[in-house]
Every structure is written in C-alpha cells, then in structure tokens.
Structure 1
Amino acid sequence: MTNSRPELMGASQPSIQISFPLPKAPETNIHLHLTINTGSILLFLTTALNGDASTAPPLGSLVYALPNRTNASQPLSTPLCVYESSVEFTTRLAKLLARKTGKPVYVGNSISFASAGMGGTVEEEMEGFKKVVEIVMEQVRKAEGEVIANGINGT
C-alpha cells in the first residue's frame, strides 16, 4: 500500500545550501548543506579558501544525535564515522541542534579552522560554531513556518 500523505512519509523541504565566511577569516568560507525533514535534520559542513576548490579537506566525522526523553538537557549521540580532529566539534554541534530542534540530527563535518586568522584557536572555533548554529536554527524556523503555513504540520 502506497502512502501519499507527505507528513507520514517524512516529507522534507528542498535542501538548503549556504556559504558564509568564517567570522575572523573572511578568505575562508564555511559551506553548509542542510536538509530539514519532518522527522529529522541532515547537515553537512566543510570549509574552502575563496577561489581554491582544488584542496578539499578530508571527509571528517559523522555524528547522530537525538533528544533524550528522560533528560531533555542531555541529548544522546553516537559517532557514525570518526575523524579525530573533527569529532568533538561535530558531537557538540549535533547534540546542541538535537536539543534546540527536538529532532534527531545527523551532522557531517569536515570544517578546518587551520586557515583562520589566528590558526584555529578556540575562540575562532567557537565563533564558527555559533554562526553555524545561528544559520541552521534560522533555516529550521523558516522551514517550520512554511510547513505549518502549507498545512503539512503532521497533525
């Protein structure tokens, strides 16, 4: 039996692709690919120097996080693919987005802060982290507004 009700099939908005400069390194862009489904969020992140597409960073880490029903402030997570230099950032991001959205989240991350203004300090990493969260949450709020406006809110 085929189900044509989009809210039951995990309908998604079209994928969103955004590029923005690192806060303290305008020559380095973060590229974000976001898919917001009714039941989950899929996010991929990478960096590239302006005008240099030939040097792709390594694949990076992939982490799955979901809201914790017994303790909402502590989402659960598991790394699905580990690249040591990016797994901590990816896990923190996945957990925060799962907590803020209340949805399961997959985050793939190959961001490199090595080309940032001060060489990838904690401050630069945190500024990049905050900017990613800000942009993703803005897009999630927009998508939720569009879904409700179109009557596909799952109720």
Structure 2
Amino acid sequence: MADTAIQETQRVSPDLKPKELSFPLPKALHTTGHVHLTFLGHCATIFLATSTPGDSAGSIKPLGSFVYAMPDRTSPKSTISTTIYTSPSSIEYTTRVAKILARRIGMPVYVGCSIDPNALGLEVEEEMEGLRQIVNLVVEKYEAQK
C-alpha cells in the first residue's frame, strides 16, 4: 500500500471570515440593527437589516437595494456608485451608506440594505444618528482587521 500524506493547508489572504453584528439602533425604540460584513483584499461586502420584537421568525422580508460604490481616484472627496438592484423604500439609504463607506475605508464596497427609515418612523436627526453608528461600526471593524 502506498503511503498517503495528508497535506496541511494554510489560509491565504483574503481570509473569508464574515462578521455578524447586532446592536440597538439609537432613537429607534426596540429596533435592532444587523450588519453582516465580509472584508476581502480588494473590496468589502456589507448587508444591513433591522428587526423589532414583533417580527416573526418565519416572515419573509424584502431584500432591499444593492449598490456598488468605489472611491473616485481623481477626487478623494467624492465617490462613484451604481445601483445593482433597486427597492424604492431603501435605495436612498443604501446609496448613502455605500458612498460614505467607500470614501471612509478607501476601497470598493457592495452594500445590500433593507432598512427603510420612513417605515421606522424616524426623524431626520434620528436617522442620521443610526447611519453614523452603522458607518462607525463598519469602519472600526475594517481598521481592526487590517
């Protein structure tokens, strides 16, 4: 019989270890924000959603919008984005998050988002506070894994 050598494999970059985070959204009573992050060597994929205590586990929620954004190499303060899939209730929020994240982390991002700030009944200031928390959390996790 031939000896069979088992080769040990090593992980190489990018290391596909998605991070799943949940946190209470500020100013949105009893609403939990959910973030699913995957950082690759050349881009990041982020999915955003919310849940409330009344949501049933078997209910189907809309997927929301999906946007690709990347930093503009000719102008560091601007970003370029394109919509891959549109859901009218979440397209503005998704595009805003994608552009901010592309500029802040300096690489292309894919953002899927089913968050509808209007359905949550948030004021503009409350919506911006939630957006700020999501962006800061993603940037913090990106910096930690670099």
- TM-score under structure 2 normalisation? 0.84
The alpha-carbon distance between structure 1 residues 29 and 73, as it changes in their structure 2 partners (threshold 3 A), is: same
Correspondence for 2:103 among 99, 103, 125: 99
Q: In 2, Cα distance between the equivalents of 1:51 and 1:37?
A: 35
For the aligned residues, what is the CA RMSD?
1.9
Residue 20 of structure 1: aligned partner: 23
Contact 1:61/1:87 (8 A) holds in 2 = yes
Q: In 2, Cα distance between the equivalents of 1:53 and 1:136?
A: 27
Moved beyond 6 Å, runs of 4+? none
Query: What is the aligned-residue identity percentage?
Result: 44
Q: In 2, Cα distance between the equivalents of 1:112 and 1:56?
A: 15
Shift of 1:114: 4.9
Correspondence for 1:32 among 10, 24, 35: 35
Correspondence for 2:140 among 138, 141, 146: 138
Shift of 1:132: 0.2
Correspondence for 1:48 among 48, 51, 74: 51
The alpha-carbon distance between structure 1 residues 110 and 28, as it changes in their structure 2 partners (threshold 3 A), is: same
- TM-score under structure 1 normalisation? 0.80
The secondary structure found in structure 1 opposite 2:31 is: strand
Residue 6 of structure 2: aligned partner: none
Matched, 1:77 2:81: yes
- In structure 2, what residue type is equivalent to 1:107? V
Equivalenced residue count is 136
The secondary structure found in structure 2 opposite 1:27 is: coil
The secondary structure found in structure 1 opposite 2:50 is: strand
Q: In 2, Cα distance between the equivalents of 1:103 and 1:50?
A: 35
Moved more, 133-142 or 24-33: 24-33
Q: In 2, Cα distance between the equivalents of 1:22 and 1:5?
A: 35
Contact 2:26/2:129 (8 A) holds in 1 = yes
Shift of 1:37: 0.8
Structure 1, unpaired ranges of 5+: 145-155
The secondary structure found in structure 2 opposite 1:50 is: coil
Shift of 1:84: 1.2
Matched, 1:123 2:97: no
The alpha-carbon distance between structure 1 residues 63 and 100, as it changes in their structure 2 partners (threshold 3 A), is: same
Matched, 1:59 2:63: yes
Q: In 1, Cα distance between the equivalents of 2:82 and 2:51?
A: 27
